[in-house]
Amino acid sequence: MSHNNNSASVNDPRQPSAAKPFVTQPVSPQDLPVDYSGFIAVVFGIAGVMFRYKLSSWLAIIFCAQSLANMRNVENDLKQISMAMMFAIMGLVTNYLGPARPGT
């Protein structure tokens, strides 16, 4: 069916003796793609806490979810995500359970 049969069918190309098991290359944390969503989540979280802005905290939670969904290196990313999550939740708690804003 395919052209490789011409060359491959001459003899079996397989060489079990030459087989090397798969070795996972350790990826250094620097080589991983930058976790933009985590960064955005932190920024939104801090903004939400600072300015008592609900939408910002909610956005932080959404970006936290994105960051969690895209997480590759568990122990490395979890720090940033947990921080962002903390800020986001703190912002929401102060927003909904905290003292009413004097402005509104």
Partner 1 sequence: MNKGKSFSLFHWLFLLCLFITHLSFSHVLADSHFEGFDAEDDDAVDEEPLDHHEIRPPPLTQSDSHPTPDPETQFNPDPNPVPTSDSPPQSDLQKPSTTTFEYWDEDEFEGLPVEQPPPEPPKVTENATPDDADPKTTSKPPKTAVSKKSFTVEIICGAFLIAFVINYFTGKRENENLALAWAAKFATKGSIFEKNFSLLGVGEGEDSPLLLKEGQTVFKFYASGRRYCQGLLATMELKSRHDLISRLFNLVVPCKDEISFEVYMNEEAMDQVVFAVAKKKAAKGMQKEVRDLQRFAGLVANPSGRKWVAEELSVISESKEVAGDLITEAVLEQVFGDRAFEKYGKDFISMHFSDQHPGTHKKMLLFKFGLPDANHMADMTRWVALVPYYIDLIGRFKLSSQARSKTEAARVKAAQEAYKELQNARQEALQKKKAERKKMLEEAEAKLSAEAVRKKEAKDRARQMKKAMPRMKMTRGH
Contact call for residue 30 and partner 1 (CB under 8 A): no
Q: Which of 29, 72, 79, 98 binds partner 1 (CB under 8 A)?
A: 72
Measured distance CA(79)–CA(103) in Å, rounded = 35
Q: Which stretch binds partner 1 (CB under 8 A): 44-52, 66-74, 79-87?
A: 66-74
DSSP-assigned letters across all residues of 38-63: HHHHHHHHHHHHHHT-HHHHHHHHHH
34 binding partner 1? (CB under 8 A): no
Shortest distance (Å) from residue 83 CB to partner 1 = 19
